[in-house]
Structure 1
Amino acid sequence: MASGWAKDGAEQEQIDATVDDAIARIKSQIKQGESAIHCEECDALIPEARRIAVPGVTLCIQCQEAFDKKQKAFSGYNRRGSKDSQLR
């Protein structure tokens, strides 16, 4: 429920903007083009099936998992949706 100076529906607009930002961030990280044969981090051979399935891949599975864990640790988005969480 919007109150004060906020117009009706302001909460949904904020949610939509957060989702749109997240989608744009993910799309900007998608690589295109030819896949690397060796991992950029550890120089391990990237399996041919992975190179075909994920165009533009540059990391082996182990390094990709480590990278994904680091990215997940910092989301940058307010997932709780309460005013208190926005003040932290």
Structure 2
Amino acid sequence: MSDIIDNASDLEELQRNAALSLIRINRNAVSALHCMECEEEIPEARRKTIPGCQLCASCKQIDELRNKSGSRRS
């Protein structure tokens, strides 16, 4: 029985570490000056707050809704 619990614990730790690595922010990443979707200028405040951003706030919101609903573009 302890093998099953140990395996489950190991799997949970791997999943948690994978999820955390997805949300870590690379402070050295270079943000785009213009949105890759709508080509509008990305405000400096957003570029500083979210290093490496490639989308304006509006397009990012649409992208997140698309991903949440499962209708991701290819």
TM-score range, shorter chain: 0.5 to 0.7
**CA RMSD in angstroms, aligned pairs only:** 2.7
Higher relative contact order (CA 8 A, sep 6+): 2
Structure 1 equivalent of residue 11 of structure 2: 14
Q: 5+ residue gaps in structure 2? A: none
Question: For 2:41, which of 45, 48, 52 is the aligned residue?
Answer: 45
Report percent identity of matched pairs.
28
What stretches of structure 1 move > 4 A for 4+ residues in a row? 27-31
Q: TM-score, normalised by structure 1?
A: 0.58
- The letter for the 2-side match of 1:38 is H
Figure out how many residues of one structure are paired with residues of the other and give that number.
Answer: 68
- The alpha-carbon deviation at position 44 of structure 1 amounts to 1.4
Partner of 1:55: 51
More helix by share: 2
1:8-52 deviation digits (Å, cap 9, x = unpaired): 42221121111122233x15885812x222111011121121112
